Amino acid sequence: MKILVIEDEIELMLVVQLFLEKEHFIVETAKDYYSGLDKIANYSYDCILLDIMLPGASGMKLLTELRKMGKDDSVIIISAKDSVDDKVEGLELGADDYLAKPFHLAELLARVKSVIRRKNQQGEQVITYKNVCLFPDKRKVMIGSLEVYLNRKEYDLFYHFMVRPERLVEKTSLAEAIWGDDIDQADNLDFIYSQIKNLRKKLKESKAEVDFQAVYGVGYKLV
């Protein structure tokens, strides 16, 4: 799961980035309105942590631009301005939550997990497809009564497909979601094939009723 932190307080931004990376998120950052706008225009995120007071223009304007683009990235507004008017404005512009500074990192994590759960998992704690159950909070995968052990990237990849069953996922968007924005500068995306191959082997050995279907030259879908 990929998070974008748009925050001009560099020390706070780095603390949040390090904390979320330890919780197994891919974290991208932007420190002003224009770098944030460039990020949201070119990439997609599971959750955006958005400060209101930014150099260049306000976070509210950035939120407006995000929704004008028709993007449904979840947004949590983070602001030192803990006023009712700001909360109402942010929610009316399409924010999913509002967190006032200062805040505890544990609360931030709970809010992030909550908005991602609502967006990707329809609020469910467990994702189920055929005989496969995935437990996001525990990063655990069960096939029938058997637990299947996946490494970090295998799990992140499988989660991405489990919340999008039967949907074609293009290789470029998949690579950005799992390996970060800078992966679009890679010479090729052959490493995805290796990860899919390893996952298919583990699924087959565990008698999973799901498999990956390749769409030549485009991407994959979980079927």
pLDDT tens, 28-56?
A: 999 999 999 999 999 999 999 999 999 99
At 54-86, the pLDDT tens digits run 999 999 999 999 999 999 899 999 988 767 788
As a whole number of angstroms, the distance between CA 150 and CA 55 comes to 42
Q: What is the DSSP string of the chain?
A: -EEEEE-S-HHHHHHHHHHHHHTT-EEEEE-SHHHHHHHHHH---SEEEEESS-SSS-HHHHHHHHHHTT---EEEEEES---HHHHHHHHHTT-SEEEESS--HHHHHHHHHHHHHHHHSTT-SSEEETTEEEETTTTEEEETTEEE---HHHHHHHHHHHTSTT--EEHHHHHHHHH-GGGGGSS--HHHHHHHHHHHHHHHHTT-S--EEEETTTEEEE-
* Domain 127-222 class in CATH: mainly alpha
pTM of the model: 0.84
- With beta carbons less than 8 A apart as the criterion, state whether 206 and 145 touch: no
Report d(CA 167, CA 222) in Å as an integer. Answer: 7
Angle, vertex CA 218, rays to CA 173 and CA 155, nearest 5: 50
CATH of domain 2-120: 3.40.50.2300
Mean predicted confidence (pLDDT) in 84-89: 82
Domains 2-120 and 127-222 fall in the same CATH topology: no
pLDDT tens digits, residue range 144-183?
Answer: 999 999 999 999 999 999 999 999 999 999 999 999 988 8
6 touches 50 (CB < 8 A): yes
For residue 126, the model assigns a pLDDT of: 92
Strand order in the sheet with 74-79: 26-30, 2-6, 47-51, 74-79, 97-100
* Annotated domain spans of the chain: 2-120, 127-222
Q: Give me the pLDDT at residue 181, please.
A: 87
